[in-house]
Amino acid sequence: MPGSDVSATKPVVLLVGNPNVGKTSLFNALAGMRAKTANYPGITVDLRKAMIQVAAVDKDSRCQATSEIELVDLPGLYSMETASPEEEVAARSIRGEFQGELSRLPDAVVVVVDATNIARTLVLAGEILDRNLPTIVAVNLIDAAESSGTEIRFDELSEKLGCPVIPVSARKARGLGELREAIYELTKPARPLLPIAREPCVAGCGGCPFAARFEWADGVAGSSVRQTPGKGVKLEWLDRLLTSQGIGLVTLLGVMLSVFFLIFSLADLPMSAIEDGFGWAGRVIDNLLPSSPLATMIWLPIATAISLSVFAVAYWLNETKWTRLWASVAVLTSLVIGSLPLDDFRSLAIDGVVGGIAGVVVFLPQICILFFFITLLEDSGYMARGAFVMERLMRRVGLPGKAFVPMLSAHACAIPGIMAARTIETWRDRLVTILVLPLLTCSARLPVYVMVAALLFGDSPWQASLMFAGAYLLGLLAAFGTAFLLKKTVVPGEAAPLVLELPNYRMPSFRNAWFTTVERATVFLRGAGTTILLISVVLWALATYPKLPEERTFSSDKQQAQAALEYSYAGRCGQMVEPIFAPLGFDWKIDVGIITSFAAREVLVSTLSIVYGLGEDAAEEPAGLVETLRRQRRPDGTLVFSTATGLSLLVFFVLAMQCLPTQVVTKRETGSWRWAVFQFIYMTVLAYVAALIVYQSLAAAGYA
């Protein structure tokens, strides 16, 4: 957790409010952080802390006085009478009962309310004010309120509430200085005790306290908020359409299809630029390494010299502690350089390292474009309408409505999705959600989808995006089908419905979309530079050694390269499992990719890049991954990547469980390996059978 090295003596200030009022956005703006925000409720499920400076001009001394406070972002809650675990996290912190670091009453509470919906979001403020904690009300989203013609008299509001009221806009960074000042005043050491000039918010109600609170909030809002007639945009008709069973579903499909179309029409240019870049890097390395026979002879002493100097630098680096990791990498590299003959080293650098990394990184543009648009959609409020449409279908198959947010996160990666399933109250609902989440398309599958789309439908962005949408849909249908089967067999029961308040439409923030995209890209590149790089080097070694005996001769270089590949460990291994995957249309080189991709799915593309790259004739014009794959032929002369094989490979990757970290998290969240093993067997068998059906039926129809 960021900033957890917090001293207990600093004042603790809580950010409290209804879900989706912009608490996390305000937290990010005040603390300079980038925690996840989105325009639907239930994004924050745990508390998050940061130390921030608050300051004010001291009235007596007339100097700027500063102090440090601990700001805590909480999950949203509607009332102190909580309904779900994440609301309970927030309520306990307010009551000062939270075990661990927050085990005392907060020094101040900032209640965040939504300027576009004051009456509803003030209800909680009333409840907090009745607790007599030092409170500030921050009216957020004033930018949105202004543009919809809502006028708020903040002085009057402050008088009615009996506490400071600060208008802010987390998005536009307005009012942050005033808020900091107000926090400073409330938390400064010698703070005078403020008399409470306010009637308790539920005074005089003999009946239902909830009704009284709503009435009170309506009264306060009614007297201090004015709506300019005709200015606010009423979009109820749109919501009726977007959440209806028919049009809503069609719209959701259309929106997703358009995003996929954008991916394929925009990514072409950056993708070929990256491909060219790696091609250029390969040529540079090739030219840098000496190639004359004499140089080959003296390579060993040169390599030893390079190796020793790298080692010396590594040793020196090791003295400073933080570079130990890099020093070990350098030592390892120096050993490899020193021990390889020149030609092998050339192949390792060009085919193994550059080829392996290039195979994955070329798909970066697609991933960036996807996340950019999805974040914009989330922020606009549209995704919450999508949730509404999906919720009805989900409940029918036994998935709880609350599974929607985990399902949305699982489209980046199953692991945060499984963790987000913690918000689901009942064990049955949580288990079903956890078991089906890995079937949804995570970003590790994207390179495989894009590769197949480029192979089969390289010239038609429309067909490519349809295929893409089909793959997403297949994952979703498989998840629904599995949930339904589970409901009928292993974990029977009815799922709980979701009470979801539709958030207002908001102008999406490009800044937020940009940062989310950069974050996803960084995760992806870090993977390419570490895991994928390591696997690529190991795979290169397995596909290169043992070498063909010298005495064997071949009629062409291409034949020799093929024979060498078949003779290697990877080749033998691939040929051994060939009979298992042959009915799915895979040749033994794809099988090597299937085996390595159980480490991480995207390793398939780097593996294919290396294995097919090594089998190429060195004299032939080098090509990018997709072009290389497209020209591969089987021994009988037919294309390896026919429509049947391509789609069978795609289906296998949509459905197979090929992610060890996810399994570990499933084990942790369900408390036993039983469910992780169940998930693995179930998904792998499903993937095999589905790919088998796809290949055999397409082959029968003449597409093999």
Ligand X SMILES: Nc1nc2c(ncn2[C@@H]2O[C@H](COP(=O)(O)OP(=O)(O)OP(=O)(O)O)[C@@H](O)[C@H]2O)c(=O)[nH]1
Residues that bind Mg ion (CB under 5 A): 23-24, 43-44
Q: What is the DSSP letter of 62?
A: -
Residues in the chain: 704
Q: Which residue in 11, 12, 14, 25 binds ligand X (CB under 6 A)?
A: 25
What is the total count of residues that contact ligand X (CB under 6 A)?
29
**Is 420 one of the binding residues for ligand X (CB under 6 A)?**
no
- Is the Cβ–Cβ distance between 117 and 504 less than 8 Å? yes
24 counts as binding ligand X under rule CB under 6 A: yes
| Residue 439: Cβ-neighbour burial (10 angstroms; 0-12, 13-18, 19+) | buried
CA distance 150 to 141: 11
346 near ligand X, rule: CB under 6 A: no
Of the candidates 604, 567, 560, the residue with the CA atom closest to the CA atom of residue 586: 604
Task: Report the amino acid identity of residue 690.
Answer: A
How far is the CA of 263 from the CAs of 372, 379, 454, 461, in angstroms? 10, 19, 12, 9
Contact segment (CB under 6 A) with ligand X among 17-25, 48-56, 281-289, 693-701 equals: 17-25
d(CA 532, CA 353) in angstroms, rounded, equals 9
Q: Rounded to the nearest whole angstrom, what is the least distance from the CB of residue 310 to ligand X in the complex?
A: 48
Choose, by CB under 6 A, the member of 12, 30, 122, 141 that binds ligand X.
Answer: 141
Give the integer Cα–Cα distance in Å for 277 and 283. 10
Considering only 6, 13, 14, 20, the residue that binds ligand X (CB under 6 A) is: 20
How far does CA 91 lie from the centroid of its chain? 28
Regarding 624 and contact with ligand X (CB under 6 A), the answer is: no
Please choose, out of 186-194, 225-233, 503-511, 586-594, the segment that lies near ligand X by the rule CB under 6 A: 503-511
CB 498 within 8 A of CB 400: yes
Residue with tokens 């798909």: 363
Confirm if 527 and 602 have CB atoms less than 8 A apart. yes
Nearer to ligand X, 143 or 591 (CB): 143
Binding mask 65-104 for ligand X (x = CB under 6 A): ----------xx----------------------------
User: What residues between 504 and 533 interact with ligand X by CB under 6 A?
Assistant: 506-507, 509, 512
Nearest approach, Cβ of residue 23 and Mg ion (Å): 5
CB-nearer residue toward Mg ion: 45 or 435: 45
Task: Report strand pairing: 135-140 vs 165-167.
Answer: parallel
Per CB under 6 A, which of residues 147..176 are in contact with ligand X? Answer: 169-171
The residue written with tokens 């949105």 in the block is 144
- Minimum CB separation of residue 482 from ligand X in Å reads 28
**144 interacts with ligand X by CB under 6 A:** yes
The yes or no reply on residue 443 touching ligand X (CB under 6 A) is no
User: What are the DSSP calls for 571-635, one per residue?
Assistant: HHHHHHHHHHHGGGT--HHHHHHHHHTTT-TTHHHHHHHHHHHHTS-TTSPP--HHHHHHT-B-T
**30 forms part of the interface with ligand X (CB under 6 A):** no
Indicate whether 406 belongs to the interface with ligand X (CB under 6 A): no
| Amino acid of residue 333 | T
We find the least distance from the C-beta atom of residue 114 to Mg ion, in angstroms, to be 13
Q: Closest residue to ligand X, Cβ-based?
A: 76
Rounded Cα–Cα distance for residues 530 and 528 (Å): 6
Cβ closer to ligand X: 380 or 482? 380
From 35-43, 117-125, 257-265, 576-584, give the range in contact with ligand X by CB under 6 A. 35-43
Residue that is written with structure tokens 């499903």 in the block:
686
> Residue 405 Cβ, how far from ligand X at the closest point, in Å?
9
Task: Please choose, out of 15-23, 278-286, 491-499, 614-622, the segment that lies near ligand X by the rule CB under 6 A.
Answer: 15-23
Q: How far is the CB of 85 from Mg ion (least distance, A)?
A: 15
401 binds ligand X (CB under 6 A): no
Other beta carbons within 10 Å of 395: 17
Contacts to ligand X by CB under 6 A:
17, 19-25, 37-39, 41-44, 75-76, 140-141, 143-144, 169-171, 379, 506-507, 509, 512
